[in-house]
Amino acid sequence: MHSPQTLLKNVFGYDAFRPLQQEIIERTLAGKDSFVLMPTGGGKSMCFQIPALCFQGITIVVSPLISLMKDQVQALQANGIKADFFNSTISPEEENAVINRAMNGEIKLLYLSPEKLITVSDTWLKTLNIKLVAIDEAHCVSMWGHDFRPEYTQLKYFRKSLPNVPFMALTATADKSARADIENQLGLQNAKLFISSFDRKNLSIDVRGQVPKKQKLEEIGRFIDRKKNESGIIYCLSRKNTEEVAKFLKAHGHSVAFYHAGMDAELRERVQTDFINDDTKIIVATIAFGMGIDKSNVRWVIHYNLPKNLEGYYQEIGRAGRDGLPSETRLYYNMRDFVLYSQFADDGANSAMQKDKLNRMLQFAEAKSCRRKILLSYFGEHLTQDCGNCDVCDNPPKDFDGTILAQKALSGIARMQEKEGITMLINVLRGSNNAEIHEAGYTQLKTYGVGKDVSFYNWRDYIIQLANQGLIEIMYSEGSALKISPLGWKVLKGERHIKLTFPVAPEEKKDRKQKVLKLATEGEINTDLFTELKKLRYTISREENMPAYIIFNDKTLKAMATEMPVTENEFLAISGVGMNKMQQYGEDFMEMIRKFKSVAKPKKVPTTLETFALYQEGLSPHEIAAKRNIQVTTVYSHLSQLYTEGKAVDLEKMVDAATLNKIRDAFNELGRDIKLKPIYEKLEETVSYGEIRMGLTIILKNE
């Protein structure tokens, strides 16, 4: 059995596991159940894909997201893994072919939709050598979840039929009440809960309230103009909105399509495919879109309206920047969205819970403190410092003694007998001369006109602040009438003082220039080369009929444009390049890099020279790997490269004579083809890739 670490490097091309992944994998290999709570883009799938490759048998993955299944299976196949899916989109002939492959032991990972699993769990599925079951999107089993699916409740019976097989439940969103329910519904046995950090540092957060529609469209247009050729998603509340926004952007020359549940399935599928394949850059969609999207290079997400809850908002912004590169998110909201949702909640199931979640969403949008702190605390994670990557941190609010302003507003509410809403209150305070005020007799009130020096926009902001501080309540059940709380009465009587913050008008907010977070791959990136590598990737993706990011994601391409690898050893050292991708695509990409390298200025210190410096200090390959936080296989690559270049590296010391002879024999028998994988397989996996690479280097140098 291969070690998880070896598989991570050789198959997926990564040097190190993310937090918790290794622990989850080890628990699974020990045959125990796990409950994995990881944010979107946090690396959930690796938690079951690596054990699947370790086990001698098949892993079943249950997922309701049919479009994502195809995506994940293609990504696995691109890494040389035998994976397949079984859902309603395949023909009876394809079904039979998948069943035969599964029964013949030719599939390592089989993805099924819950409906299909229930249908076949007592037939051919019973005959398979199932070693692991992973249940993705596990929140779908819970009535408390935001995406309940009745067929998920049947999975408990499947669990009972496989008492000795480890089960893993995975989700990106589940609050405490949902977690207990999920464990119970799925019949997990002594499952250990793994909660990974929900802090996606690479996502900037920006919130803008009360922006008129025309201005909102213009702002979005300017935002997208700065992001030429980058992928993004705009989420809207209604189908009508999606079509309007898409039409506006199309008229301004953007590559855009809309997506909602009112379109026929074939058209929806085409829109989604064009987006995944980078043929359409921008999607304007209702929240139905994106559930099945594993696209790693979405650079921005805009919410055109207030989301219904923080879970949904978090999951939707999480579709940006899954490759770890800096990405922007922006949320627009107004009170009309809020009132509309409150009415929906009144008519729906779980009304009280939905309203509570909606209120939390509004508090987040209206907040005057670090937004990431508020968002993460909702998921039970507490930041000790402000994030420095949200609009509040960028423009910290300034406060002042707001007691007199508050008393003016509270007095107005009291004098109108707590019957009126925000707009009427502001019009009275500002001394507006409209018919409604005259009819109600409000021009006679003492508070009429006492706040005419404050703009309508600012009064609105101050009144919302009073609501957020608990001085007033907005009674949505009474036409949004304002009521004064016990604390509000104290302020009105002068028994308490309060602080308010100066409003920041949306147009004053700086259109934020992207903060460049220093990422592991960021050195001197050659942007022209990056552009050319993206074009090459697109061409290959067309030929192979698969999404471009499955070939290599943007982060891997950026690393190539920085490190400029031109040998097999250097190319394998790039994060995200495994053996299979090296053999399929390596030569094409290196050829492109070689062309550029002849004209580009050399990078500051090549990564191989950093390894060489430590080697000269007398460190062993394992010590170098630990010190540089890279795989020992990568160190062997570097040493082989240095040896070829004539540097003083004693490779012969690292490969014993017997192993070298084995490598030489296999190399000759395979027609002296300089490919590591066939040699590795010929030697029945007894010699590591690192040793084969060094062995070949010695053999070729000494001929």
One DSSP character per residue, 445-476 reads STTTTTTTTS-HHHHHHHHHHHHHTTSEEEEG
Residue 477 — pLDDT band, cuts 50, 70, 90? low
In degrees rounded to 5, what are phi and psi of residue 330? -140, 135
The residue among 460, 425, 461 whose CA lies nearest residue 445 is 425
pLDDT at 60 over 90: yes
| Predicted pLDDT at 88 | 87
pLDDT at 686 over 50: yes
The residue among 492, 470, 501, 504 whose CA lies nearest residue 406 is 492
Burial 440-466 (b: 16+ CB within 10 A, else e): eebeebebbebbeebeeebbbbbbbbb
Range of 69-78, 168-177, 341-350 with top mean pLDDT: 69-78
The residue among 558, 588, 589, 551 whose CA lies nearest residue 277 is 551
Percent helix, strand and coil across the chain, each to the nearest 5: 50, 10, 40
Mean pLDDT calculated for residue range 40-61 = 92
The residue among 508, 506, 460, 459 whose CA lies nearest residue 216 is 506
Residue 243 — pLDDT band, cuts 50, 70, 90? very high
Mean pLDDT taken over the chain: 88
| Predicted pLDDT at 520 | 37
Q: What is the DSSP string of 435-448?
A: HHHHHHTGGGSTTT
pLDDT at 397 over 90: no
| 442-456 residue pLDDT tens | 999 999 999 999 999
The interaxial angle of helices 351-366 and 310-317, nearest 10 deg, is 60
Judge whether 670 and 682 are in contact, CB under 8 Å: yes
| Residue 204: its H or E element | strand 203-209
| Predicted pLDDT at 323 | 86
Judge whether 466 and 406 are in contact, CB under 8 Å: yes
Judge whether 296 and 323 are in contact, CB under 8 Å: yes
pLDDT at 522 over 70: no
pLDDT at 678 over 90: no
Q: Where are the domains of the chain?
A: 4-195, 203-394, 399-503, 527-701
| Predicted pLDDT at 469 | 81
Pairwise CA distance, residues 303 & 326, whole Å: 18
| Predicted pLDDT at 229 | 84
pLDDT at 521 over 50: no
Q: Which residues contact 58 (CB under 8 A, 6 or more apart)?
A: 52, 102, 105, 107, 108, 109, 110, 128, 129, 130, 131
The residue among 127, 10, 5, 13 whose CA lies nearest residue 60 is 127
Residue 524 — pLDDT band, cuts 50, 70, 90? low
| Predicted pLDDT at 510 | 54
The amino acid present at 87, given as its one-letter code, is N
| pTM, to two decimals | 0.69
Which of the 8 DSSP states describes residue 389?
S
Residue 513 — pLDDT band, cuts 50, 70, 90? very low
Q: How many CB atoms lie within 10 A of CB 593?
A: 23
State both tokens at 524.
């001197």
Greater pLDDT, 485 or 673: 485
**Topology alike, domains 4-195 and 399-503:** no
| Predicted pLDDT at 292 | 58
| 626-673 residue pLDDT tens | 888 888 888 888 898 888 888 888 888 888 889 999 999 999 998 888
70 burial via Cβ count (<10 Å: 0-12, 13-18, 19+): buried
Strands (E), 155-202: 167-171, 192-195
Pairing mode, strands 83-86 and 58-62: unpaired
Of 347-361, 489-503, 581-595, the poorest mean pLDDT is in 347-361
Mean pLDDT calculated for residue range 73-93 = 93
Task: Select 4-195's CATH number: 3.30.2350.10, 3.40.250.10, 3.40.50.300, 3.20.20.70.
Answer: 3.40.50.300
Q: How many CB atoms lie within 10 A of CB 195?
A: 16
| Predicted pLDDT at 172 | 80
pLDDT at 155 over 70: yes
Greater pLDDT, 67 or 558: 558
Residue 601 — pLDDT band, cuts 50, 70, 90? low
pLDDT at 560 over 60: yes
| Predicted pLDDT at 516 | 41
Judge whether 20 and 12 are in contact, CB under 8 Å: no
Residue 58 — pLDDT band, cuts 50, 70, 90? very high
State both tokens at 384.
């000790």
pLDDT at 482 over 80: yes
Pairwise CA distance, residues 222 & 110, whole Å: 45
| Predicted pLDDT at 144 | 61
pLDDT at 148 over 80: no
* Distances 148 to 60, 169, 174, 308, 643 between C-alpha atoms, Å: 21, 15, 12, 16, 59
Torsion (CA) 170, 172, 176, 182 in degrees, nearest 10: -30
Superfamily of domain 203-394: P-loop containing nucleotide triphosphate hydrolases (3.40.50.300)
Pairwise CA distance, residues 529 & 122, whole Å: 54
Pairwise CA distance, residues 609 & 88, whole Å: 53
Superfamily of domain 527-701: HRDC domain (1.10.150.80)
State both tokens at 90.
């395949």
Query: Is residue 424 helix, strand or coil?
Result: helix
What's the CATH class of domain 399-503?
mainly alpha
pLDDT at 357 over 60: yes
Judge whether 482 and 474 are in contact, CB under 8 Å: yes
State both tokens at 192.
């250990």
| Predicted pLDDT at 519 | 40
475 burial via Cβ count (<10 Å: 0-12, 13-18, 19+): middle
Pairwise CA distance, residues 503 & 397, whole Å: 8
pLDDT at 515 over 80: no
Residue located via tokens 């770890």: 324
The residue among 394, 476, 454 whose CA lies nearest residue 207 is 394
Q: How many CB atoms lie within 10 A of CB 110?
A: 25
| Predicted pLDDT at 291 | 57
621 burial via Cβ count (<10 Å: 0-12, 13-18, 19+): buried
| Residue 302: its H or E element | strand 298-303
| Predicted pLDDT at 674 | 78
Pairwise CA distance, residues 615 & 623, whole Å: 9
Mean pLDDT calculated for residue range 553-568 = 92
Pairing mode, strands 192-195 and 34-37: parallel
| Predicted pLDDT at 451 | 94
Mean pLDDT calculated for residue range 224-249 = 93
Pairwise CA distance, residues 664 & 673, whole Å: 11
Dihedral sign from CA coordinates of 483, 486, 488, 489: positive
Pairwise CA distance, residues 454 & 488, whole Å: 21
| 190-203 residue pLDDT tens | 999 998 888 999 99
Which of the 8 DSSP states describes residue 549?
H
